[in-house]
Amino acid sequence: MNTITICDLAALFHVGVPDDERARPQRLLLTVEMELDFSAAAANDDLAHTVDYYAVSRRLIGFGQGRSWKLIETLASEIAAAVLDEYPVRTVAVEVKKFIVPEARYVSVKATRSA
């Protein structure tokens, strides 16, 4: 098994329990770890045998368009489900970092899903 990681991808999402918090998009950081076998891609130097991480990053940046969530737990779970559904990965782990508690560097949740 091999891993492709997109670390701390900045994206804007409408998220938060209070309505006024969800009213404006917040900058969140996403880290997505995708497990797959990319040995054929490495052997042939061929993108067709792996996951195009640029395409995944564009998908994640646009994931929040026209949507909102109360919980980052829900957001992380939905992103993990979408990555599993749309890309040839066996396991995905999605960490969502939110900068809402002034005394903390960030708050994060991590959702792991397998095919």
CA distance 75 to 72: 5
98 is a catalytic site residue: yes
Entry field: residues in the chain = 115
Under a CB-based contact definition with an 8 Å cutoff, are residues 96 and 107 in contact?
no
Which amino acid is residue 61, in one-letter code? I
Among 70, 97, 98, 110, which one carries the catalytic annotation? Answer: 98
CA distance 18 to 8: 25
CA distance 68 to 49: 34
The angle at the Cα of 62, spanning 59 to 67, to the nearest 5 degrees, equals: 125
Which positions are annotated as active-site residues? 98
